[in-house]
Chain A
Amino acid sequence: MIFGAGTVTREVGREIFLGFSGIAIAIFYLLTTIAIGLFVWAFYRRFRKYSRGRPTARLSLKRFVRALADLGSNRTIAKRKPIVGIAHFFVFWGFIVLLLGTTIIAIDVDIIGVLLGRPEWQFWHGAFYIGYALVLDIFGIGFVAGLITLAVVRRRKPARLDYTRVDDVEAQRRGYSLDDNAFLLLLLFIGVSGFLLEGFRIAATNYPSFEVVSIAGWTIAWLTGPLGAAGNDAARIVTWWIHSLAALLFVAYLPYSKGMHIIDDAANLAFYEPRSAAVLAGVEDPAAPGYRSIADFTWKDLLDLDACTKCGRCHEVCPATASGSPLSPRDLILDLREHADAKAGLKLWYGPGATPGHGDATEVAGTVIAADTLWACTTCMACMEVCPVGIEHIPTIVQLRRRLVDVGDVEAGLQSAFQSLARSGNSFGKSAKQRARWTKGLDFTLKDARREPVDYLWFVGDHGSFDPRASDVSQAVARLMHEAGVDFGILYDGERNTGNDVRRAGEEGLFEMLRDANVEAFESASYQRMFTTDPHSLNALRGEYPTDEDVLHYTALLDDFVASGRLTLGKLNGKATYHDPCYLGRYQDEYNAPRRLIEATGLEVVEMGRCRENSFCCGAGGGRIWMDDSSLEERPAENRIREAVALGDDVAYFVVSCPKDMIMYTDAVKTTGNEGVIEVVDIAQLLERAMEVVPVG
């Protein structure tokens, strides 16, 4: 008989279909075939959706190796959420080992035993079986414990798992929670029923001594002992079917559900490019910039949409979400997913996305995703930094903004900034000739690097040149450089806005225009190295200019001068907190020089809860500084100042190292009524104060 072929009883081992009739076995294989068929069909349809995306080169060994480490360690999940990370680690490895265990049985019993009919080749017995049983039980226990932990976390309803939308769009989100719970409980059910099955089987087969290595099953078998051999065997048969049906249900359910993240997220991490926001892709066809329809998305963008597990971490860290704007990075991704699925004719098991109209639209920017929502992003990159599965929100937002700009759907404040930038190279509506007017407050003259050679060319940036609060800082930096004996100069009216934020606001043509003008000015100047006081400029100059400038942030330069004794500091007293600018920290990975400088002034650095990679944006990036923020409930900068003030009365300084921060936080200190409580001060200004208290002699 066909189905009996694989069921040779060994001394150490177990029989899968112990006591099963041929019909029962046939039914099982039929159901298995159906489940796998459903899986393959739905998986193929998902795969086909991604394969229709526009091409993007993402295959690299470096990314692949990093993804292996990410996956193996679950470190991206454990980041700032250690309990969830550890629990997921156990579920992850438990799932893999249990899946391998099932695969081994499938190979041994179904393929070698049944299909090939070669019982002598079977290996799932003896010492191998004992090791197998031990390993599977250990990982199975971890699997169940991890799932229970995650269920408890969910049960406590953290705010990040609340799917209420931040905009006013009516949307049915019950399916999301339903799927989350179904996914978790189904896995838990499979794990627990597996252990029960093991226990009943051990008890029904009279406790074979080698089964003691099945530690969980052995324990359960002792507890179910009172049922007697017959009772345990009856329970075994029932549980066998329940366990198997649950497992087959899971196989069929996976590609129609959150289960898809098991496959999508491994792939998404393997193709993730963390620098994609810092170095944006250019516009391929200037006649049709940005993403018009879902057909313009790259396959990685489409994979991003399905990769989202709705963990809500981006939602939790996003300054736009926190300030009551209509943008939540999570909702953005999920809305796009619903739209992409509707366009591809795909459905998740709980039905189509319930955001009205998403399936009908062709245009994405301004329809599927409202223009206000797209303009709300500060491009601070907190979402990408925190996303455990490598979703790249910002490049997609910028592509959609490019489309808005192309059709002229531009926020009013941004529009006048663009017009001013196109006219005179700055966003202040000032003549280019006035760019270096701030230098008049100095008692020495700055060199014009276009007229005489300098060691360092200083790229000052718009705000440091035109805004009095930030140009005070520029003056302090000039005095420090002068004091340190640095040979440096500026470009005077030759400098233009770098276009970093213009580019992120989606105006690629204007960015190119500004970039070309700057490159021309650089070529007319003679210098060894460049530094800038503006982290936003730093980002563009380093990664998005063809000149491949080796640019320093001024804090790195000053850090050198203090360390080498070119600047002598006295000691200040008290405590300070430091705000990491998004474009210096997350974008350019520089965290330490500013802190060393503050400590060099004698101040103690007290960290805010959200610091370094997890710093909270001031709200000015990505063109937001030019847009109207009066509709926000709480400006991100106000939220941040409140966080700093809560550190205690003794933290007297809020130290910044970005001109936009100086402006945003000076305002926020006033609007939150914290004048006199905490002082916004730039690192350069702090160094000057410390120099004033150098003991004489």
Chain B
Amino acid sequence: MKIAVLMRAVPDPVEELEIGDDGVDLDRDFLGYVLNEFDDHALEEGLLLREETGGSLTAYAIGTADEVTQMLHTAIAKGADSAKQLGEDLDVIDAHAQAAAFVDAVRDTGFDLILSGVQASDELDGQVAMLVAAALGLPHISVVVSATPHEAGLKVTKEYWAGITAEYEIDLPAVLGVQTAREAPRYVAVARIRQAQESGALESLDLDQPDPAGRIRVTAMRLSETGDGAEMIEGDEEAAAERVYEILASAGVV
């Protein structure tokens, strides 16, 4: 099975996030980046499938930050056969732009399976995988929690709400949006990442800035407001109910 994993670098929440002067994006000058957690799961599921079926796995990521290179080296260290860095930063980062860049990179390369995280922490509409599928005209399943080889295709478990899951059979080629891999993403030793850096398996690709049509535009970004703190309601049920009613009444709700 020939597998592609599309990975995104997202702002590292360990660092303090500040809004830039334009008020519509984070101040990206001082940001650190980490691999999007869901993409880490997509990579793990891809590695498991590659181990089960043979074939190859290629990891893709967009951007010029050191962390992007590091992410791809880590993917190679974990077992990816090759990695491609789309070596330019997107002018505007959103799902449509990312999907367009990925589609340019993977179109006509003959992948049987394209995996990406179901969403990213800086892009909560969760559309990259489905936009890629739509652009390539491939079947797509999202919120995947397991994908295992089944006949010529895959058996895929998708999670709905309230503990409901559904099982699908899907023909290849296909695109999956992965929520969690079957196993926790593996650890890769620092020494292995160093070896990957020297392996030459990372290749840089050009990136065309995508056409901005049909995209979400951020008009303002603000930090969430800090409230005055919580009020703990004391007393028995009667007293508590009375106090809740008072609060609701004073807020004009009842």
Contact = CB atoms under 8 A, between A and B. Distances in A.
B is a partner of A: yes
Interface of A: 283, 286-287, 289, 405-406, 408-410, 412, 415, 418-420, 422-424, 429-431, 433, 507-510, 512-513
Contacts of A412: 184
A465 to B, nearest CB: 15
B187 A431 contact: no
Contact of B187 (A408, A424, A513): A408
Give 9 nearest A-B pairs by CB, closest first. Answer: A509-B190, A509-B191, A408-B186, A410-B187, A510-B190, A415-B187, A286-B191, A408-B187, A431-B15
B52 interface: no
Nearest to B195: A287
A430 B188 contact: no
A476 to B, nearest CB: 28
Nearest to B78: A408
Contacts of A406: 189, 191-192
B108 interface: no
Nearest to A289: B191
A665 to B, nearest CB: 29
Contacts of B193: 509
Given A286-B195, A512-B190, 11 more contacts: A289-B191, A406-B189, A406-B191, A408-B186, A422-B190, A429-B14, A431-B14, A431-B15, A509-B189, A509-B193, A513-B190
A412 B184 CA distance: 9
10 contacts: A286-B191, A408-B78, A415-B184, A419-B187, A423-B14, A507-B190, A508-B189, A508-B191, A510-B190, A513-B190
Contacts of B195: 286-287
B14 to A, nearest CB: 5
B15 A509 contact: no
Contacts of B188: 408
Interface string B186-209: 111111111100000000000000
A405 B191 CA distance: 10
B189 A289 contact: yes
A419 B32 CA distance: 14
Nearest to A510: B190
B92 interface: no
Nearest to B185: A415
Contacts of B187: 405, 408-410, 415, 418-419
Contacts of B14: 420, 423-424, 429-431
A423 B12 contact: yes
A409 B187 CA distance: 7
B143 interface: no
Contacts of B194: 286, 509
Interface of B: 12, 14-16, 32, 34, 78, 184, 186-195
Contacts of A429: 14
A507 B14 CA distance: 22
A364 B11 CA distance: 40
B240 to A, nearest CB: 29
A408 B191 CA distance: 12
From A408, A409, A412, A430, residue with most partner B Cβ within 10 Å: A408
Contact of B191 (A283, A418, A420): A283
Nearest to A406: B189
Contacts of A508: 189, 191
B188 to A, nearest CB: 6
B138 to A, nearest CB: 31
A523 B121 CA distance: 38
Nearest to B194: A509
A289 B191 CA distance: 9
A412 B191 CA distance: 19
A507 B12 contact: no
Contacts of A409: 187
A431 B192 CA distance: 25
Nearest to A408: B186
Nearest to A405: B189
Contacts of A510: 189-190
B48 to A, nearest CB: 12
B174 to A, nearest CB: 27
Contacts of A286: 191, 194-195
Contacts of B184: 412, 415
A622 B68 CA distance: 32
Nearest to B190: A509
A431 B191 contact: no
A507 B191 CA distance: 8
A508 B190 CA distance: 8
B33 to A, nearest CB: 10
Most buried by A among B16, B32, B34, B192: B192
Nearest to A508: B191
A247 B184 CA distance: 60
A365 B242 CA distance: 62
A398 to B, nearest CB: 14
A620 to B, nearest CB: 21
B38 to A, nearest CB: 16
B198 to A, nearest CB: 10
A410 B187 CA distance: 7
A513 B192 CA distance: 13
Nearest to B12: A423
A503 B169 CA distance: 46
B103 to A, nearest CB: 31
B34 A423 contact: yes
Contacts of B16: 431, 433
A421 to B, nearest CB: 9
A228 B119 CA distance: 102
A410 B184 CA distance: 11
Nearest to B14: A431
B119 to A, nearest CB: 21
Contacts of A405: 187, 189
Nearest to A426: B14
A259 to B, nearest CB: 43
Contacts of A509: 189-194
A415 B185 CA distance: 10
A503 to B, nearest CB: 12
A51 B34 CA distance: 48
A289 to B, nearest CB: 6
A420 B15 CA distance: 12
A418 B189 CA distance: 9
Given A286-B195, A412-B184, A433 B190 contact: no
Interface centre among A409, A418, A509 (most CB of B within 10 A): A509
A286 B197 CA distance: 14
Nearest to A512: B190
Contacts of B192: 406, 509
Nearest to A410: B187
A430 B16 CA distance: 10
A254 B172 CA distance: 67
B16, B186, B191, B193: most-surrounded residue (chain A CB, <10 A): B191
A278 B14 CA distance: 33
A406 B189 CA distance: 6
Contacts of A419: 187
Contacts of B189: 289, 405-406, 408, 507-510
A48 B193 CA distance: 38
Contacts of A422: 190
Contacts of B12: 423
A418 B190 CA distance: 9
Contacts of A408: 78, 186-189
Q: Which of A283, A412, A415 has the largest count of B CB atoms less than 10 A from its CB?
A: A415
Nearest to B188: A408
A512 B189 CA distance: 12
Contacts of A283: 191
A286 B34 CA distance: 25
A433 B15 contact: yes
Contacts of B186: 408
A170 B193 CA distance: 39
A409 B184 CA distance: 11
Contacts of A431: 14-16
Nearest to A286: B191
A697 to B, nearest CB: 47
